[in-house]
Amino acid sequence: MTKDKKLKNLKEETSEFGKLLNKEKGLLNFPKVGDIIKGNVISASKSAVHLDIEGIGTGVIRGHELYLESLDYDDLKPGDDVEATVVELENENGEIELSFRSAGQLKVWGILNDLRTDGKIIDADILDANRGGLMIKVNRILGFLPVSQLSPEHYPRIPGGDKTKILERLKSYVGQKFPVKVITAEPAEEKLIVSEKAAWEEQQHGVISKYKEGDLVEGKITAVTDFGAFVEFGENLEGLIHISELAWQRIDDPKDFVKVGQKIKAKIIKVEGSKIFLSMKALVADPWTNVGDKYQVGQLVKGTVLKANPFGLFVELDPDIHGLAHISELADKPVEDVSQIANAGDIVEFKIISIEPKDHRLGLSLKGVKKGAKVVEAKAEVEAKAEAKAEIKTEEKETKKAIKQENKKTKKPVLSGVERQESK
């Protein structure tokens, strides 16, 4: 056999071996149920899509497995390359049973996870609402937008926290689109959570950066809660005035101090991310600075009881200065019910027992008033007796003077009533 013939035979053998090897390799790589494989669209209709799985055979997607989860599977036509998940290795027609739904879901979850990592803002469709938040859909995946993650504009601040009214407010958003950020994407648990507040914070970052601590702002009260008031100002910004920053005096209910719609001026005292904290009292001089000019320890003062608590009485001495009469200072004996001593609206006299300007505290006592009253009463009694003695002495002097003047006129001794009685 010639050298050229041997070389030709070797090439043919090698080629046949290569084909066999490739065939065996294909068998070794034959897909399993759950695998995602690529295919080329042969035909596509509303009832079924057929794919050519190169080197393996034909695949079909039909029934509920056609319900697509990714927009990439819309409007398929012959020649398109797609991915599908293996559901069954062989159906009644000898085809590989595939699913767009599963593959589409995996792909979309991957996209959602990328959105979470990148922090990109996307739109979420509001489908429904419950008391905890809003049901949403993003890229055909159902998710949840908690109430706590709503922007200030959509957060349901309902006076009194009426749950029915809160739900009504949330349901009013159904059918709208909210810009959101993905904060949780867990495909294994099918858990998708988004945040409108995070998107709002990013959008407002440039606006918020224009403000700093110490700036004065003018705005309108948008909501009043048990812990303070929310103020809208500037370019759709919102700040919080905590109850302790409304005024220098004690405030039990912010609703007694400010109203929704009221226009106010405030000072920015803190900027923390997207949160802006304001103060109204910062624009007013601290009345406690000169409290010593009005009140001193030991002084007896009259005050109006604002509130009776189990631990004592809160008392208004004037519009700016309030004090506390602790339960231990209400009587010499233990007090079981503070309301038996005084109630809101009562005007009572107290004794000042302590003043702490830095802490804005002023201590009052009723026990001190009772002890003081005894001293005052005793002193008044002594002064009254002294005055009575002085009056008697004055009367005696005037009487003697009158008798002497009368004797001089008549040149006869004028006897007093006592002397005339003795002469008889």
pLDDT digits (tens, 9 = 90+) for 77-90: 899 888 888 888 88
Helix or strand or coil: residue 413? coil
Closest CA to 60 of 42, 78, 81: 42
Q: How many CB atoms lie within 10 A of CB 161?
A: 11
Q: What is the DSSP string of 82-101?
A: EEEEEEES--TTSPEEEEHH
For the question of whether the overall pTM of this predicted structure is more than 0.75, the answer is no
DSSP-derived pairing of the beta strands 36-44 and 347-356: unpaired
**61-86 per-residue burial string, b: 16 or more CB within 10 A, e: under 16:** bbeebbebbbebbeebeeeeebbbbb
pLDDT at 187 over 90: no
Q: What is the DSSP string of 312-365?
A: EEEEESSSS-EEEEEGGGS-SSPPS-GGGT--TT-EEEEEEEEEETTTTEEEEE
- Residue 203: its pLDDT value, please? 82
pLDDT digits (tens, 9 = 90+) for 385-404: 566 666 666 666 776 666 66
d(C-alpha 221, C-alpha 153), whole Å:
13
User: Which helix (H) or strand (E) element contains residue 165?
Assistant: helix 163-171
pLDDT-derived band at 195 (thresholds 50, 70, 90) equals very high
pLDDT digits (tens, 9 = 90+) for 203-223: 887 788 889 999 999 999 988
- Residue 378: its pLDDT value, please? 36
- Residue 399: its pLDDT value, please? 66
d(C-alpha 121, C-alpha 130), whole Å:
24
- Residue 385: its pLDDT value, please? 57
Q: Which residues are CB-contacts of 240 (< 8 A; sequence separation ≥ 6)?
A: 228, 229, 230, 231, 275, 276, 277, 278
- Residue 68: its pLDDT value, please? 56
pLDDT digits (tens, 9 = 90+) for 312-353: 999 999 988 999 999 999 988 888 889 888 999 999 999 999
Who wins on pLDDT, 406 or 70? 406
Q: Which of 24-38, 109-123, 178-192, 410-424 has the lowest mean pLDDT?
A: 410-424
DSSP-derived pairing of the beta strands 141-146 and 133-138: antiparallel
d(C-alpha 5, C-alpha 267), whole Å:
99
